[in-house]
Each structure stands twice: as C-alpha cells, then as structure tokens.
Amino acid sequence: MHWRAPLLAASVLVSGIPAVYGWGAAGHEIVATIAQIHLHSTVLPKICTILNFTSNNPDEPQCHLAPIATWADRIRYKMRWSAGLHYIGAVGDHPQDKCLYPGERGWAGHPGGNVLGGIRNTTGILKDWVTQGEGTYNETANEALKFLVHFLGDMHMPLHLTGRDRGGNSVKVTFDGRQTNLHSAWDSLLVAKAVRTVPAKYNHPLPNRQIEHNLRGAIYDSFVRKVMWEGVLGKWHGDVEQWLACPARSGPVIGYMLPHWAQVAFGGRSGRVARLVQQVFGHAYVDIGAPEMMDDEILCPYHWSQPIHALNCKLVWPKEIDEPPYSHAGSDEELNPRVPLLELDTPKYAGVVEKGWVLEELMAQAGIRLAGVLNWLFMDPVEGEPSGPALTINL
C-alpha cells in the first residue's frame, strides 16, 4: 500500500551554537527502524550503496538505518560547524499562552542554521547524488544521509524546538526520585520507561513479514511492534497520509546564496570537510523572518514542526515549573536542598504522556516522514502508478 502526498529544494546554514541531545540512542534507532519498515523495495539497495555496506545474508536486509541514527551526535564535537543543526531555539516563545514559533525574537543562531534547514539541505545533497552519481559511493552523500536520518528524529523531539532554558537542559527535576533535567527526562527516561512497559505479547513476532524482517533483535523491538500494530496500522491508519502532506505554496523558497559570515569562516578550508561544509552552507539562505520559506509543497519541515513545538506549551513544559515552590528551585545555580524539585514520574505527567501515546506518535511521525523523504529521493518509478514528485511510504 502506498500513501502519497503532494518537490523538494535544498537549503540551510549551520551555526556554532552548542548542541543539545535529541532523542537518546534508543529513540533515534526506533525512528530509523520505523522508517526502514516503510521503505520501497528499490530504495534500500541505494541507501546501502551510499553507506558502503551490504549483507550477504539473504534472511536479513542488505543494511540497516538504525546503526547510523546516532552518528551525528557522536561527531558533533569533531564537526562543530554542525552543532546548531540539531535543534531550533525559538527565542521568546514563552509564555505558554502565546507559544510563539518562531519566538518573539525569532530563532537562535544564524538564519536557517537549525534542524529545519538541516533537513532541507541534506536532502538536497542526496538529490544531487541521485542526479549526478547514483550507483557509486560518495563520502559527502554518506554523511548527508547520516545527518538526515538523525535530523528527522531531532525535529520530532519537542524540546529541540524551544530555546527556553537551553531546551529544558537547565531545568532541574526528578524522575522516579532521581535528579535529572527536563530535556533528559524526554530524551531518555520517558523513552526507557515506555520501552520497559510494553505488553509481553509484543515480545513475539507479528504476522507481518515486512515489520519483522527489518527488526534487529534490539531491546526496543517490542516497542516498534506495538507502535506499528496498534498505532500505524491501527489508531493512526487514517492520519498517515496527512502526516506526509504539505500545504500549497504560492511563492518560491528563498533564493540560493552563501552568506558573508560563512564565506569568511569556511572560504579557506580544503578537503572533504570543506566540501561538505560548503554544500551544507551553500544550498540556500533562509530569512529568519519568513520561516514558511523553509517549506515547499513536498518537503515542509516548518509546517511539520509547528504542532510538535506546540506540545511544549500544552504538555512538555509543566506549568508547576513557573509556580512556587518549584520556580525557586534554580536552574544552573547550586541547588538549595530546602527547595523541592518537581517529580515527573507521576500519573499527572508521565501518565498523561503514556496514555496519550505521545512518544509513540512522535516517533511514528518521524519514521514515516523519514521514509517518505528517502522514498521520494531514491525510489524507482513503478509501472502503472502515478508519476511525479511525492512523498511515499510502502506498507
């Protein structure tokens, strides 16, 4: 079954703002696994060529997306120019009743130097590979693919879309009695709890070869089964097409140019890193005052990210954080032991996340959109099916 939604230009800049983590390793690998389940059969061989890896075992896929899903986090200090591409800090998106996106003072960092621009630009680099060098290994395309897989996951982590208190990294809370921060609670602890509490029936294979063939015996396989069986094939089945959709546009995406600061910073560099930097920087300059110019009728990361950002105001950011006694707990300051920290592993918070399938839906959306972009880039034309640009998933 194919879902289609109405091209995709490339574009972004990067920034040296220190990165924060997106989903932890498990979250990113779950997103990549869901995406791989939805790839068209003609797509994975091209991805394996880009990754320069294939398996000779006929009982397993030629390669997997999950092992590359956290590469961009592992190299973020080595490739410091990529740091700002992991998030988009809306500056002044608080108070919660306004929930501005971008914030009152736009987005942190350089225009376009954020996760939305990173998605656009890495997609453009891969489109160039298809046009100019498909069938051959290319190191720039290899790294662009690994960035793209990661960035789609980052965009669906709500705290990667707000600049408030460093995306929640500065907000001390407790989870199951242990001190942590709001970002880490969403990054890892809520995900770990969700994986740990999957019903035992999902420890066994499903009667669906396409799902089972793409699992790797990972600790989160049962979670993926649940998301697919009850979510994508169940309660969200009628929503998936809308997840891929972009609103019609009346104007073009902002024009292509390399801003002066990027020319100065990287103009003298040489070698593979310089080529990648130039490609990532050079596809387009996106005006910070016109975020809708990130989008076109096929790829629309700004449109997709709007309801994800809104979750910060509706759910992710507890209102109690701004009220006594928790508002006096401090952030990066030394903690006062007499001031309590807000506990998040409660029915009122973690329970709402669990009952609302919030994590499951965010990861499913990320995986579906990643699969749609990869299929749009790499899928061979299918005889008898409508041709033309579209995001498509296969199931």
Indicate which residues carry an active-site annotation. Answer: 23, 28, 73, 76, 86, 150, 154, 160, 183, 187
- Measured in Å, how far apart are the chain's first and last C-alpha atoms? 5
Sequence-ordered list of residues with C-beta below 8 angstroms from that of 345, at least 6 positions apart, any chain = 174, 175, 176, 177, 189, 193
Q: How far apart are alpha carbons 208 and 232 in whole angstroms?
A: 13
Q: Decide if 133 contacts 110 (C-beta within 8 A).
A: no
d(CA 116, CA 87): 8
The token pair that represents 333 in the structure block: 């300051």
Give the 3-state secondary structure percentages of the chain, helix then strand then coil, rounded to 5. 50, 5, 45
* Cα four-point dihedral sign 236, 354, 31, 63: negative
Cα–Cα dist 228/364, whole Å = 8
